[in-house]
Amino acid sequence: MKLENTKLAVIGLGYVGLPLAVEFGKSIPVIGYDISHRRVEELQAGHDHTLEVDDDELASASGLSVTTDPAALEDANVFIVTTPTPIDRHKQPDLSPVLSATRTIAEHLKPGAVVIYESTVYPGATEEECIPVLEEVSGLTFNRDFFVGYSPERINPGDKVHRVTTIVKVTSCSTSETADFVDSLYRSIITAVTHRAPSIKVAEAAKVIENTQRDVNIALINELAILFNKLGIDTEDVLLAAGSKWNFLPFRPGLVGGHCIGVDPYYLTHKAQSVGYHPEIILAGRRLNDSMGAYVASQLVKRMTKERIQVQGARVLVMGLTFKENTPDLRNSRVVDIVKELAEYDISVDVHDPWADPDDAAAEYGVTLVEAPEKGTYDAVIVAVAHRQYVAMGAEHIRSFGRTEKHVLVDLKYVLARDESDIRL
């Protein structure tokens, strides 16, 4: 296939799919397909609520048309799948979104087509799970009638520096000839270099270990933070001292959520266990990071008790709900763990977040966001996310939400100076 003959469809218009569709849509016709009517109507009106693409940039993608009608995929000959790959309540991979997208594509697959997956999966998932569905539903034969590639997404929500066009792109495909096409397709929009992996499995594995590595490293720092707290040592002081060595990695303790770091390792451990290997370090890191919300809540309760603040019936303000700063992305937010744990102590928790959508917060977590926290009413205040609005407030403003007579201020994100908060990781 030649680039000039490409009729592209991007399946899934979320944090990954939309920026990709917009970039391609600046130069070639692109069909953006999503099952959410709300999402498509929003984009047709010229706005992206995720804020990954601003209104002017969205308008500049003159070749992009968005739809919920699968019939629009009929003319496409290249499909890029960017649907989410979450985990279920048992922390097992949930491939249903990507397999649903695969079935939709298969119903419109024509000879010569190329299907490229960007969704994070475990090594082997594309060939073991997706390709059989494409063959079964379409009636076509893999590597004769259609071809499959894998090019893992590297979107970082809220990051305005590392964008889809400026990040090195890993590419792979099922045949060497089609691999040339897939690589050239991405090079047509990416200013950074591409890296051609020798196989789809290698590309899948590369993606899943990127976030697993970060998860394990953060788990180590979280464990050290717990230890240093018991030793009466300030964690940041230790990290700054250790960071004076050229090869010390600058990780910080904290809550580990989001659509990648808190999820992807479970895809790798699932695959490992399926071949009879029990991954000790990866699972230990996951357990530790998943326990940090409860740890924060326990530290707060201990400090409140020490300060003789009545715990039962206390009011706590949590500042920030999204999984990271300066983005409306609520996926897999671990701030909710703190909220739930505090509720176990019969503590009333108010949550404020200037970035989060109130309807999404209510639907996803059952959390009703407060628009304007009342000053002087809280027994404790937790700065859980380093939104720029909170950074700009400063310690005095943030403390003004606490009771004048006595309260506890927790800083989980090093927003404040060391002596400006009562607890920090």
Query: Under a CB-based contact definition with an 8 Å cutoff, are residues 341 and 366 in contact?
Result: no
Going by C-alpha positions, the residue among 188, 196, 173, 194 that lies closest to residue 24 is 188
Burial class (CB in 10 A: 0-12, 13-18, 19+), 57: middle
The angle, 0 to 180 degrees and rounded to 10, between the axes of the packed helices 264-274 and 280-290 is: 140
Cα angle, residue 347 at apex, residues 361 and 292 outer, rounded to 5°: 65
Query: Under a CB-based contact definition with an 8 Å cutoff, are residues 296 and 119 in contact?
Result: no
Query: Under a CB-based contact definition with an 8 Å cutoff, are residues 381 and 361 in contact?
Result: no
Tell me if residue 421 falls in helix, strand or coil.
coil
Q: Which residue has the tokens 């259609």?
A: 146
How many other CB atoms are found less than 10 A from the CB of residue 282? 20
Query: Under a CB-based contact definition with an 8 Å cutoff, are residues 174 and 200 in contact?
Result: yes
The amino acid that residue 383 corresponds to is V
Rg of the chain's alpha carbons, rounded to an integer?
23
- Phi-psi label, residue 110: left if phi above 0, alpha if psi -120 to 50, beta otherwise: beta
The catalytically annotated residue of 260, 335, 381, 398 is 260
Q: How many helices (H) and strands (E) does the chain have?
A: 15, 13
Burial class (CB in 10 A: 0-12, 13-18, 19+), 317: buried
Q: Which residues contact 9 (CB under 8 A, 6 or more apart)?
A: 30, 31, 32, 33, 72, 73, 76, 78, 79, 80, 105
Q: What is the DSSP string of 278-342?
A: --HHHHHHHHHHHTHHHHHHHHHHHHHHHTT---TT-EEEEE--SSSTTS---TT-SHHHHHHHH
173 is catalytic: no
As a whole number of angstroms, the distance between CA 10 and CA 30 comes to: 7
The amino acid that residue 395 corresponds to is A
Going by C-alpha positions, the residue among 279, 152, 261 that lies closest to residue 206 is 152
The residues annotated as belonging to the active site are 260
